[in-house]
Structure 1
Amino acid sequence: MSRLKGVAERDTRVGFRAERRDFGASVPQGLLKAARKSGQLNLSGRNLSEVPQCVWRINVDIPEEANQNLSFSATERWWEQTDLTKLIISNNKLKSLTDDLRLLPALTVLDIHDNQLTSLPSAIRELENLQKLNVSHNKLQILPEEITNLRNLKGLYLQHNELTCIPEGFEQLFNLEDLDISNNRLTTVPASFSSLSSLVRLNLSSNQLKSLPAEISGMKRLKHLDCNSNLLEAVPPEMANMESLELLYLRRNKLHFLPEFPSCRLLKELHVGENQIEVLGPEHLKHLNSILVLDLRDNKLKSVPDEITLLQSLERLDLSNNDISSLPCSLGKLHLKFLAIEGNPLRTIRREIINKGTQEVLKYLRSKIKDDGPSQSDSVETAMTLPSESRVNVHAIITLKILDYSDKQTTLIPDEVFDAVKSNSITSVNFSKNQLCEIPKRIVELKEMVSDVNLGFNKLSFISLELCTLQKLTFLDLRNNFLNSLPEEMESLIRLQTINLSFNRFRILPEVLYHIPTLETILISNNQVGSVDPQKMKAMENLITLDLQNNDLLQIPPELGNCVNLRTLLLDGNPFRVPRAAILMKGTAAILEYLRDRIPT
């Protein structure tokens, strides 16, 4: 009793009461009350220099409303409160966190980006339920070893700090899927990183890396690797075996040779601009079957090989600011959406043609093929000649696994086209640039093999259910049609990663897209979309790119800022007033941060 009396005399809770007075304006009691019910507390942008004790002790102390109300309704039973699982204290002036962090063991999300932290407390090891930790845009020089105890961590964001090394045991974060260590001072990547077997996205850009460990190829699930703005002179040849790799960024390094990627069959974007690459050969191109974007700008290339036509899926090719004097006429056969060739000493294409843009350049190159007459390979009869005198490219079926019947201006795909597949296994279908009003019913015959389908530049006004049977489909191009809806049966496309719906007639983002969890890229520019559902969009955890340019969005919901997985959000050309153009120009991260700061609390 005497011990308790002594405690009462000292009144250890005086400090807490004082702190409540100090921080009452920053953390209203109504906000704390709501957090006890929802399990979420957002204190972003409140000019806090330290975290109030009432926040750390939110699930420990008896709330003030308990002393003010002796009869509680079902909604006011404070003893039935929810443990805090999400705490956002970003955009403040915090210089440190105390070990009181351990009083919130149920946290799954801790967001403290944009503060002035120089260290993290060792007590962080006790947040064993943590799945997402964002400490980007601080002043961290070192990470505590205790961070390796967070075995449930899936997303770790450390960009824009002052880190020079990674702590030992980092590979124990075996559930990590997204790791961003860009804009730090790293000079090496530990070979033990290969043990991060769940990693899907790794951002190492803007560091001081001179090499990558060969063991990086052990990341079997890695899809997105960003090594822009480092000091790399080469990449380990073992990277060629990274079968899951889809996006690879190597811009602004010191590469002298373009890597070869024989096993990277899924590679969709390769960015190697602003290096010192001198040669682009057939061996560099022959395995890039799925490539959509190839960035070779600001190098020392002198020529482009005829084998560039192997890149049948290519949409964007940037060759600007090289030493190229002529382009192969065969380049005109590609269905490029964007071709950049400025800054080259070209002698074979007049400046006035280049100034007219991509399609005029391609048209000019195609005309030169006709002027030169048919080549020997063109004059050889193929195995199938159609009544329309258009040929099935059997060579493409056998060697490139592509069923190509594009640019024929036909209203129907002849049966002979599907018959030509025979026993061959194909992965891609290209029926673009025709006059199709419906999807060929025989496409269902390819459901066990096809992963890429291009039906762009047709006259489709609806999607037939045959398309929804293509279980292996990962890439679908439906741009430049007359579509205004998608069938709910498309939810069965359980592997779909990229869909292009640009230049159609959509007024809303199709509901079914929210129910395809594998989607990583949605391109729906140049429609009439007037709204998006930010809550459903947030649930799309794999979504990286969302293009909503040139639509009818009158406002952007602030909750869209919670879609933190987005790396590219394009909003230009809409009639909304905020965010203003100055914010849009800063890029996706700035847009999302701007929106998050305006979420009502």
Structure 2
Amino acid sequence: MSRFKRNGKIDSRAGFKTQTQESPVPRGLLNAARSSGQLNLSGRGLTEVPQSVWRLNVDTPEEAQQNLSFGASDRWWEQTDLTKLLLSSNKLDVLSEDVRLLPALVVLDVHDNKLTTLPKSIGELENLQKLNLSHNKLKELPEELWLLKNLRTLQLQQNLLEELPDGVGQLEMLDDIDLSNNEMTTLPESLGNLTHLVKLNVSYNKLKSLPHGISGLKSLKLLDCTRNQLESVPPVLANMASLEQLYLRHNKLSCLPEFPSCQTLKELHLGNNRIEVLGAEHLSHLSALSVLELRDNKVKTLPDDITLLKDLERLDLVNNDISSLPCALGNMPKLKILSLEGNPLRAIRRDLLTKGTNELLKYLRSRIEEAPGDPFKDAPNTAMTLPSQATINVHAIKTLKALNYSEKQEASIPDEVFDVVDSSPVTSVNFSKNLLTALPPRIMELKDTLTDINLGCNKLTSIPADFSVLKCLLQIDLRNNLLTSLPLELEALTKLRTIILSFNRFKVFPDVLYRLENLEAILMCNNQVGSIDPAQLKGLEKLSSLDLQNNDIMQVPPELGNCTSLRALMLDGNPFRNPRAAILAKGTDAVLEYLRGRIPT
């Protein structure tokens, strides 16, 4: 009698019910797929694909088995073969061999799952044109995959692939393949058989070289080899007659690729390498180039022959070792963007650099008639030799207002260096590439005139609070030191526009930077910064460049999208998942727009 009690926990009508388990795929969705030929099951938490999906075009609908009447629009016997199946963002760890029951598939998308293997029957999908297997856990690919002769797009990024089989060369109709973010150390020579390939992305792998067979890619327009271990690029790349965009950022290249002839290349991205020399032999073959990106290298000089690049529109030389510019640069007819932040330029006033590309080019043109070449290259030797055998160019101090004592490998700056200055109004100091462990105390003597100081490539572990007396500073370069923090007293540097803190040991974004309202550029790549405060960052209304590449940022706050003053936001090389690499590649505006779209409402 207890099972009939009203207050009991057992339902008195339980014996009269039939227990039915709700299908993870609604019947109405299957019926719609029979008429449209498309089925979207993305983001449904599926751990396996129901048999009703695989047998969609094989079995008769359940309604038909119940002898129900059908209208003209519900004639199941007139169903359309399934051509598009979307299974992304589920929890699938296996794909059934029953995929062969959908031979009409043109698009199969199973990205963002947990697949470790693929069924052999995938090779029976002879009509398949687009296959998205990205963001899974695939370590190898079945040979049957290479039977898909009509495949045009193959997405394999974000997997665990250590090699790409030679069989890929059989996919002769392929025009887009993405192999980024895997573990590959080599590529097969058979890639060159893909004569219809337009886009090849092998970024974020462990490639040490490129196969010579790659020169067979006659239709290739974009080749992305970002963040690998390439030390050289084979000259045969020039044989790719359609190549327009070449990305070689974050590799180990020591010089520009030397192509015998490359008349189609429009964009060459070589940032974050080890390039020191840029000579005429590197430029003569790049006549069609419109973008040359060389940021974060070790380039010391630009040749006059850079004017050979008559179609160049953007030249990015941020964070190099360039001390002077050829005046001929001013005569480049199409140059619209010239980025030079983070270089120890000594012959050009800092305020001129901040006025933009047009003013800088105008200035260089004006110098061509006055003094072709370097105006101080043949200056008389007025230097004095100090006990340390260092040479101080007194002419530079008197004329350029620049004090240069760099690359001496000294642990301290001799007093004689400051004695030479005497009462001269020095505006620029370069003590880079020494062994300094502390700031030279006598630097404070220059507080009334000093606007630019370069202390990069030393062994500084801290910056003293009294550094804040240098209130005229516009730029500070502290790259390649051992810094972990900055004193709050630096907020007194109200005129500061650029600060370079790259290659240090910061784990926290320095709080004082949020208080320097006139900052235009903060360069902090290659540190260990874990987060930033977008609310405080938004207060820096003049900030246009923020470089946080190669840090430890796990999550990019969506509110960063509100920092609309940013024109260059660099976030590559951080462990966050979103925004994905495809968004980052589109540039700052696209990233900011993406972030704004994710702000909770």
Identify whether the pair has TM-score above 0.5, normalized to the shorter chain. Answer: yes
Where 1:215 maps in the other structure, the secondary structure is helix
2:329 to 310, 331, 342: 331
Q: Tell whether the 8 Å contact from 2:292 to 2:316 is kept in structure 1 after alignment.
A: yes
Q: Given residue 233 of structure 1, which amino acid in structure 2 is its aligned partner? A: E
CA distance in 1, matches of 2:86, 2:28: 17
* Structure 1 residue 571: Cα displacement: 9.2
Q: Which residue identity does 1:201 align to in structure 2?
A: K
User: Does 2:54 correspond to 1:36?
Assistant: no
8 Å contact kept, 2:235–2:260: no
**Is 1:291 equivalent to 2:306 in the alignment?**
no
Per the alignment, in what secondary structure is the counterpart of residue 223 of structure 2?
strand
What is the rounded CA distance, in whole Å, between the counterparts of 2:357 and 2:137 in structure 1? 45
Give a deviation string over 1:58-106, Cα, whole Å, max 9, x none: 1111113324564333211111111000101101111111111111111
The gaps in structure 1 that reach 5 residues or longer are 1-17, 375-548, 551-563, 585-593, 595-601
AA matched with 1:261 = F
1:175 to 2:190 alignment: no
Q: Deviations over 1:288-311 (max 9, x none)?
A: 222121111111111111122222
Q: Residues 131, 320 of structure 1: CA spacing in aligned structure 2 closer, same or farther, 3 A cutoff? A: same
Q: What's the counterpart of residue 157 of structure 2?
A: 159
Please state how far the C-alpha of 1:118 moved relative to its aligned partner. 0.7
Q: Contact between 1:242 and 1:263, CA under 8 Å: does it hold in 2? A: no
Whole-Å Cα distance in 2 between the matches of residues 49 and 152 of structure 1? 29
* 1:161 positional shift: 0.3
1:362-381 equivalences under 5 Å are 362-372=361-371
Shift of 1:578: 8.5
2:145 is matched with which residue?
147
- The offset of 1:53, in angstroms, is 1.1
The answer to whether the 8 A contact 1:154-1:175 is kept is yes
CA distance in 1, matches of 2:21, 2:133: 26
Task: Assess if the C-alpha contact under 8 Å between 2:165 and 2:188 holds in 1.
Answer: no
- Paired residue for 2:596, among 575, 581, 584? 581
CA distance in 2, matches of 1:45, 1:337: 45
Question: Using the alignment, how far apart are the partners of 2:309 and 2:67 within structure 1?
Answer: 71
**Aligned residue type for 1:65:** E
Aligned-partner residue type, residue 275 of structure 1: N
1:371–1:571 CA distance, 2 compared to 1 (3 A): closer
Q: CA 1:567 to 1:342, structure 2 compared with 1: closer, same or farther past 3 Å?
A: closer
Task: Give, in angstroms, the shift of residue 21 of structure 1.
Answer: 5.8
Q: Does 1:122 align with 2:120?
A: yes
Change (3 A) 1:121 1:312: same
SS in 1 for 2:200: strand
| Offset at residue 143 of structure 1 (A) | 0.7
Distance 2:590 2:91 in 1: 35
> Does the aligned pair in 2 maintain the 1:160–1:184 contact within 8 Å?
yes
Pair 1:317–1:22, CA change in 2 (3 A): farther
Q: Following the alignment from structure 1 to structure 2, what is the Cα–Cα distance between the partners of residues 287 and 21?
A: 71
Give the letter for the 2:339 counterpart.
Answer: A
Query: Match of 1:156, SS?
Result: strand
Q: Per the alignment, in what secondary structure is the counterpart of residue 131 of structure 2?
A: strand
Q: Which amino acid aligns with 2:28?
A: G
Contact 2:236–2:259, Cα closer than 8 Å, also in 1: no
Would you say the 8 A contact 2:327–2:372 is kept in 1? no
The counterpart of 1:75, out of the listed 35, 56, 73, is 73
Could you tell me how far apart the structure 1 residues matched to 2:287 and 2:279 are? 15
Provide, for residues 549-600 of structure 1, a one-character-per-residue CA deviation record: whole Å limited to 9, x for no partner: 99xxxxxxxxxxxxx99996579499xx98542759xxxxxxxxx9xxxxxx
Contact 1:175 1:198 in 2 (8 A): yes
Partner residue of 1:344?
343
Deviations 1:394-427 (A, max 9, x none): xxxxxxxxxxxxxxxxxxxxxxxxxxxxxxxxxx
Q: CA deviation at 1:50?
A: 1.0
Query: What is the number of equivalent residue pairs in this alignment?
Result: 378
CA distance in 1, matches of 2:21, 2:588: 41
Distance in 1, Cα, partners of 2:590 & 2:200: 31
Q: Report matched runs for 1:296-311 at 5 Å.
A: 296-311=294-309
Task: Confirm whether residue 224 of structure 1 aligns to residue 222 of structure 2.
Answer: yes
CA–CA distance in structure 2, aligned partners of residues 39 and 277 of structure 1: 53
Q: Residue 57 of structure 2: which of 52, 59, 62 is its match?
A: 59
1:133 equivalent to 2:131? Answer yes
Distance 1:336 1:68 in 2: 73
The CA RMSD over aligned residues, in Å, is 2.9
Alignment map for 1:264-275 (pairs within 5 Å): 264-275=262-273
- For residues 255 and 200 of structure 2, the distance between their equivalents in structure 1, rounded to whole angstroms, comes to 23
The CA deviation string for residues 342-397 of structure 1, in whole angstroms up to 9 with x for no partner, is 111111111111122222222222222243489xxxxxxxxxxxxxxxxxxxxxxx
Find the structure with the greater CA-based Rg.
Answer: 2
Q: Give the counterpart letter for 1:193 in structure 2.
A: L
The equivalent of 2:465 in structure 1 is none
Instruction: Write the distance in 2 (CA, Å) between the matches of 1:579 and 1:170.
Output: 34
Give runs of aligned pairs for residues 440-455 of structure 1, distance below 5 A. none
- Partner amino acid, structure 2, of 1:344: N
What secondary structure is seen at the aligned counterpart in 1 of 2:185? Answer: coil
Does the 8 Å CA contact 1:280/1:303 hold for their aligned counterparts? Answer: yes
Q: How big is each residue's C-alpha offset from its partner over 1:92-145, in whole Å with a ceiling of 9 and x where there is no partner?
A: 111111111111111011000101111111111111111110000000011111
Q: Structure 1: which 4+ aligned runs deviate by more than 4 Å?
A: 20-23, 564-574, 577-580
Q: Quick one: structure 1 residues 336 and 21, their matched pair in 2 at CA, closer, same or farther if it must change by over 3 Å?
A: farther
CA–CA distance in 2 between the matches of 1:285 and 1:69?
Answer: 76
Q: How does 1:346-425 map to 2 (within 5 A)?
A: 346-372=345-371
Is 1:249 the counterpart of 2:254 in the alignment?
Answer: no
Output the CA distance in 1 between the equivalents of 2:279 and 2:583. 34
The aligned residue for residue 206 of structure 2 is 208
Q: Secondary structure of the residue that 2:315 maps to in structure 1?
A: strand
Compared CA separation, residues 54 and 570, structure 1 to 2 (3 A): farther
Task: Evaluate the alpha carbon distance shift between residue 298 and residue 570 of structure 1 in structure 2; reply closer, same or farther with a 3 A threshold.
Answer: closer
What does residue 414 of structure 2 align with? Answer: none
Identity of aligned residues (%): 61
Q: For 1:512-551, what aligned pairs fall within 5 Å after superposition?
A: none
Shift of 1:34: 1.3
Letter in 2 for 1:209: L
Q: Residue type of the partner of 1:81?
A: Q
Q: How far, CA to CA, are the matches of 2:305 and 2:20 in structure 1?
A: 72
Given the alignment, which residue of 167, 188, 195 partners 1:197? 195
**Structure 2 CA distance for aligned equivalents of residues 79 and 567 of structure 1:** 48
**Which residue identity lines up with residue 365 of structure 2 in the other structure?**
R
Q: Distance in 2 between matches of 1:68 and 1:568?
A: 54
Question: Which residue in the other structure is 1:184 paired with?
Answer: 182
Q: 2:110 aligns to what?
A: 112
CA distance in 1, matches of 2:100, 2:292: 48
SS at match of 1:110: strand
- Structure 1 pair 161–573 and aligned structure 2 pair: CA distance change class (3 A): closer
Is the 1:144–1:167 contact (alpha carbons within 8 Å) kept by the matching residues of 2? Answer: no
The answer to whether the 8 Å contact 1:39/1:83 transfers is yes
Q: Deviations over 1:221-258 (max 9, x none)?
A: 11111111111110112112222111101111111121
CA contact (8 A) 2:245 2:266 kept: yes
Q: Residue 370 of structure 2 aligns to which amino acid in structure 1?
A: D
